[in-house]
Amino acid sequence: MDLGLLMISIGAVNLWRSRQKPT
């Protein structure tokens, strides 16, 4: 697996979770 792709995946998930603030 590409490291760059992994970083993008983590960044996308982090951004998505950030936008979905439960509180």
22 HSE (CA, 13 A, CB side)? 0
Model pLDDT, residue 23: 64
pLDDT tens digits along 1-23: 689 999 999 999 999 999 987 66
Dihedral, 9, 19, 21, 18 alpha carbons, nearest 10: 40
Looking at residue 21, its pLDDT comes to: 72
Which pTM does this prediction carry? 0.52
Q: Return all residues near 16 (Cβ < 8 A) that are at least 6 apart.
A: none
DSSP H stretches of helix in the chain: 3-19
